[in-house]
Structure formats: C-alpha cells, structure tokens
Amino acid sequence: MARSVTFKGNPVTLEGPELKAGDKAPDFTCLKGLEVVTLANTPAKARLFSVVPSLDTAVCSAQTKKFEEAIRDLGDAVACYTVSLDLPFAQGRFCSAEKITTMQTLSDVHNHSFGKNWGVLISSGLPLPLLARAVFVVDRNGTITYAEYVSEITNHPNYDAALEALKKAAA
C-alpha cells in the first residue's frame, strides 16, 4: 500500500512498509565509507537511525548536529547513525567540516535497501530518489521501540521523544 508524506507541501510517495514499535528491524545493506554495513554489523545495543534526505540541507544538518550533541552523554551504551542517499565521500566531508564524531553515517546509495525495507524511500513525486525524514530506535534484540515518519519532510523530527526512547532502550 502506497503511503505519502509531503515535501514543501507537495505529496510524495514512500516505498516499503510503515514500521512501528514492536516490529522486527529489517535488514539493509549500506555503506560506511567503502565498508558494507548491514543491520547484523551494527552492535547489539540500543541504536538510533536518523534518516535524512541529504546532509547538504539545513534541516538535515541541524538534525544530525542535534543528535550528535544529545547522544554524547550516552557514550558506549548506544550506537547512532545518520542514513541518507548522499555518497559516503560527501558524508565524510560533512562530518569532518561539522566535527561530527559520535553519529556514524550510512549511505543507502548502494541499493536503496534501507529506504525500501524501512519504508522511507521516496518512489515518486521528486525528480531524484531521496529518503524521507524519519527516526527509528532499535533495542539490543533488534526490535523497533520507536518509529517516527515526519509527515512534512522539511520539518524537524520530535527529538525529545526519540532521545527518550533511545535512553529507555539503552537502560
């Protein structure tokens, strides 16, 4: 069933399932630099997946910086990722320029499996593929404990709710 959100007020269609708390986290194949990363390659602890259209936009940049700052105090209890379709080289350049050291970046440019499996790939409504803005928290057992699909892609997610869910999953 096609679902839609809006991008600057215009509807766009999302491909894949709408995940919710209690669902098993789907697998994916992303790139961290030139290393292939799957869900199984992420540590078995509380994980935050902050999904953004592109790190080269103001809201996506702010979202990554906000989570970067907020998770520092959680240390090794969590693993946190920003997922986008940006090339790994652009992600690396962004992280270096913005001093992002805790949030790791995952590029879904390889086969869009994160976007398709997590229901965030924009399949129509834009002239190029992008991921919709979303935030997911996955516990150490691989179960989603929090899922937010931001209804207007240019808006910010609910940072407080996502961070509360992450802290709870890490406890």
CA dist 138 and 144 (Å) reads 4
60 part of the active site: yes
Phi then psi for residue 7, to 5 deg, are -125, 110
Catalytic residue among 30, 60, 80, 95: 60
Reduced 3-state DSSP string for 106-170? EECCCCCHHHHHCCCEEEECCCCCCECCEEEEECCCCEEEEEEECCECCCCCCHHHHHHHHHHHH
* Amino acid of residue 145: T
Q: How far from the centroid of its chain's Cα atoms is residue 154's Cα?
A: 15
Active site residues: 60
